[in-house]
Structure formats: structure tokens, C-alpha cells
Amino acid sequence: MTRRGKPYNPNTVNKHLKLLARILRVARKWKLISDVPEVGLLKARKTDFDFLTFEEADAFIAAAKQHVPHWHPFVVVALRTGLRVGELIALRWREDVDLVRGRVTVQQSYNPHNGFTSTKNDKIRELPLTWDAIAALEAQREFVDVDSELVFPGADGEVLSANKTNEVLAEISEAAGIRRIHNHCTRHSFASHAVMRGIPIRQVQEWLGHGSIVVTMRYTHLAHGIGDDLIRRLAPPTPDDAAKSQHIHSPQIWRSPNSGSQTPIDPLN
């Protein structure tokens, strides 16, 4: 049970059970025990994830620029890179950001318990930056102290906290007139938008830094209809054929969970 008296989420319990199984295997390898008992996992439900529609993301960015302009670069970079909040906090100007090439290299993360560490899967990855992410980083470079090593430092040059970013995102959500947004929602939004724009799932996995493509596959249901357009490239229709089949080219409707809004999307636009 949690401190609040509620049962732990099955996914959380399974993480600890997997760790226990790993410890037992090491113990057997070191001949501390003779056999490894079977460690069964709980049946976990597939969890839904929340993401911003394209219009909501635009409204969110606009609200940040209007109401908390010094947080605008953070919001843009979060939505355009899909970095985990710890990775955003740990970004450094000299080692990680290349505005000339339009690239950011993710080499480390941060959490208050362990400080600066390697990324979640101990992998270094490089991401290309969108034009607005580059502009946001250029603005941030002008805003922060010239001696700041971190791209997004906290108050008085201290390390930014995930709790603080959550508070600010909630404030921006209210200003934008949308539901409360949390840190990981920006990552889900980036992944969802990439898939909805027809970016291959393997590329999305690489950008997100997922250790397994199974994790990235949770977003594939958003790619509905993209395969239809891709297969047509094998035999492009003539103008007459296209006119006869206009009814199958209607835009798809995407709905963000709990958003109550619908957005027509052309996945390959």
C-alpha cells in the first residue's frame, strides 16, 4: 500500500518484481542460492496516455509566451523534442546543444535522488531540431546567465526541479483554457504528433530513446490511414483515377483523450 493507503499500480509492482527476479538470478550466479524461484508478474492494464492535439499544442505554446514568457523556450523544446523532464533539466549548452547544425544530443538526465546520471537506457541519442525549437533555444541563450552551464537552470542558478516544471505547466494549461498538463504529456504529445505526421515508428523510437520498440508501439493506433496513402505510392493514380476515388481521401479525425476536441489531420501534410 502507498502512504495514502492506496494499492500500488500493477505496473509499479511489476517493476519491483522484475528487479527481484534479476537479483535472484545474480545470487544464483554467485552461488549464494541453488535455485531461482519463479517470480510471477501481475496482470497490468494497458494505460491510456494523454496528449495535446495540434491546436491544443499551439494554444499551449501561445499561452506560455503570453503569460510566462521566460518559460516559453522550455515549453517549445519539450513539445518539439519529446525529451523526458530529467533530460530537459540536464541539458547543457556546450556539450549537448548545437544551434549551427540544429541538433541536440541527449547524454544525461537528472533526478533529485541521484543527481546527474546517464539516460534511462544508458544510451546517447541525437535529435534534429525544428525551426521553432532552434529559435526558442536562441532566445533562451539570451535570457539565461552567460555563465550558466545548464540550458534550463532553476532559480538563482540552481538545478530546476520536476515539481516546478509541473507547477508551471499547470499554470499554462489554465491560461490556455485546456485540462491540466503534466511533464510527461509533452513527451506523449511529441510522439503522437510524429506518428500522426507519418514519421516511421522506428525513427520515433530512436528520437524518444525507447529501449524497446514495444513501448513506442503504443502510439501506432494514431497512424490510422497512413498506410493507405503509402501503398498508393506504389501505383500513383492518374487524374481521372484520383477524381473517381476522392471519397477515400477524406481527412482523419483524431481525438486526444479527455480533450473533448477533434482535429482534422492530413497525416502526410
184 is catalytic: yes
Question: Residue 127: which residues within 8 A CB-CB, separation 6 or more?
Answer: 81, 83, 103, 104, 105, 106, 207
Residue from 72, 188, 193, 210 carrying the catalytic annotation: 210
All cell numbers assigned to 144: 539565461
HSE-CB for 266 with a 13 A CA cutoff: 4
Let me know: does 180 contact 171? Beta carbons within 8 Å: no
Let me know: does 61 contact 79? Beta carbons within 8 Å: yes
Angle between helices 54-67 and 183-196 (to 10 degrees): 140
pLDDT at 146: 79
pLDDT at 263: 42
Distance CA 108, CA 127 (A): 14
Look up the pTM and report it: 0.70
Let me know: does 34 contact 28? Beta carbons within 8 Å: yes
110 is catalytic: no
Residue from 65, 67, 184, 224 carrying the catalytic annotation: 184
CA distance readout (Å), 199 to 27, 152, 227: 44, 28, 11
pLDDT at 37: 86
Neighbours of 204 (CB within 10 A): 24
Distance CA 208, CA 203 (A): 9
Residue from 72, 80, 193, 219 carrying the catalytic annotation: 219
Residue from 120, 182, 218, 232 carrying the catalytic annotation: 120
pLDDT at 262: 41
Distance between alpha carbon 9 and the CA centroid of its chain, in Å?
A: 21
Helices (H), 180-225: 183-196, 201-208, 213-216
pLDDT at 120: 86
84 is catalytic: yes
Backbone angles phi, psi at 34, to 5 degrees: -90, -35
Distance CA 204, CA 201 (A): 5
187 is catalytic: yes
Let me know: does 65 contact 31? Beta carbons within 8 Å: no
The closest of 201, 233, 218, 253 to 48, measured between CA atoms, is: 218
pLDDT digits (tens, 9 = 90+) for 77-95: 999 999 999 999 999 999 9
Residue from 80, 187, 188, 193 carrying the catalytic annotation: 187
pLDDT at 237: 73
Superfamily of domain 48-232+252-269: Intergrase catalytic core (1.10.443.10)
pLDDT by 10s per residue, the chain, length 269: 555 566 776 767 877 888 888 899 898 889 899 888 888 877 755 556 789 999 999 999 999 999 999 999 999 999 999 999 999 999 999 999 999 999 999 999 999 988 999 998 889 999 999 999 999 999 999 999 878 999 999 988 789 999 999 999 999 999 999 999 999 999 999 999 999 998 999 999 999 999 888 888 888 877 766 667 667 777 777 777 666 655 544 444 344 444 444 444 343 34
All cell numbers assigned to 93: 549548452
CATH 1.10.443.10: which residues of the chain? 48-232+252-269
